[in-house]
């Protein structure tokens, strides 16, 4: 192993518990077992949670970093539909395409995260990208090219939430840093729609409060979550405490130079370009 790789693995090991999650040994049995575990969880439940993925010391640093960047964050408190798309004037008033959801939080974009941040160092390693690709079972995966949305901190203060929605991407990768002791729960309904059926009646039922199929994920600090959100509707419930809920979002795409659409970028980062 070259000195450069040794130094990179040493830095990565200070962030990720490589004994439990061998990103540096994905081609060995222990790495293949990790990939297999993630794929099974995603197939069966639509989500995969890896508790203790990031070491406690790195979590502490990242919480402090997010807190220090809070003054330069972008504040979102707006409404959107579940598709993050412009609202068509034609559907009837009761159509789910016109049902508005509230999202409110502070976001620190990629362009404001320092070069020595553990989050940036993790995101920029090829080992992390290869792991996410393997876990998702995709042949090609690239770090996102959006200058703000590629990597970000999300900070939910009391009353903040993320309304019900479907992701525009196939999957999401998030890192829980500081859960809220009350509220701030991640909830979803697996495969509520499909490529061939929007299932709008069932979507309306969820928006009306039907909890029959809702799954709640209970995250702990340092938990990495992989989630297939294009067809599984999901939300973050309102934070009901004075402790901010803080998580990080690591964005990947199956095409090079992917960027957010104008609606999403304007909503969460304050810039349409």
pLDDT score, position 88: 67
Whether the CB-CB separation of 113 and 153 falls below 8 Å is answered with yes
How is residue 21 annotated by DSSP? Answer: S
pLDDT in tens, 152-183: 999 999 999 999 999 988 899 999 999 999 99
State the average pLDDT for the chain: 92
What are the tens digits of pLDDT across the range 192-220?
999 999 999 999 999 999 999 999 998 89
Residue 90 has what pLDDT?
Answer: 55
Model confidence, pTM:
0.92
- pLDDT of the residue at 134: 98
pLDDT at residue 191 greater than cutoff 80 = yes
- Greatest alpha-carbon pair distance for the chain in Å reads 63
- What are 81-124's pLDDT values in tens digits? 999 888 766 555 568 988 999 999 999 999 999 999 999 999 99
State yes or no: pLDDT of 5 exceeds 90.
no
Domain boundaries, the chain: 46-111+138-269
CA gap 125, 121 in Å, rounded? 7
pLDDT tens digits, one per residue of 50-78: 999 999 999 999 999 999 999 999 999 99
**What pLDDT was estimated at residue 168?**
84
Helix segments in the chain, DSSP class H: 3-13, 29-45, 56-69, 118-123, 126-136, 200-207, 262-269
Class at the top of the CATH hierarchy for domain 46-111+138-269: mainly beta
8-state DSSP, 177: E
Q: Any bridge partners for residue 246, and if so which?
A: 155, 178
| Torsion of the alpha carbons at 60, 65, 67 and 73, rounded to the nearest 10 | -150
């Amino acid at each position: 192993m070259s000195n450069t790789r040794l130094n990179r693995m040493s830095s990565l090991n200070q962030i990720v518990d490589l004994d439990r999650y061998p990103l540096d040994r994905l081609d060995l049995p222990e790495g293949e077992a990790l990939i297999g575990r993630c794929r099974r969880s995603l197939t069966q439940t639509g989500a995969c949670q890896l508790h203790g993925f990031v070491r406690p010391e790195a979590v502490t640093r990242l919480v402090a970093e997010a807190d220090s960047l809070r003054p330069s964050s972008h504040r979102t408190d707006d409404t959107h539909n579940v598709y993050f798309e412009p609202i068509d004037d034609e559907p009837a008033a009761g159509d789910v395409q016109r049902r508005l959801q509230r999202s409110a939080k502070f976001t620190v974009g990629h362009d404001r995260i320092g070069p020595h941040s553990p989050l940036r160092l993790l995101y920029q390693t090829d080992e992390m990208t290869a792991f996410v690709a393997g876990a998702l079972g995709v042949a090609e995966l690239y770090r996102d090219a959006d200058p703000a949305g590629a990597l970000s901190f999300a900070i939910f203060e009391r009353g903040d939430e993320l309304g019900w929605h479907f992701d525009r991407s196939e999957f999401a990768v998030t890192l829980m840093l500081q859960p809220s002791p009350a509220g701030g729960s991640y909830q979803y309904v697996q495969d509520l729609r499909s490529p061939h059926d929007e299932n709008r009646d069932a979507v309306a039922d969820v928006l009306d409060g039907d909890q029959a199929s809702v799954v709640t994920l209970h995250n702990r600090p340092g938990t990495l979550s992989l989630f297939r959100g294009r067809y599984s509707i999901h939300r973050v419930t309102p934070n009901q405490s004075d402790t901010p809920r803080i998580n990080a979002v690591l964005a990947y795409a199956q095409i090079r130079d992917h960027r957010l659409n104008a609606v999403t970028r304007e909503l969460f980062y304050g810039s349409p370009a």
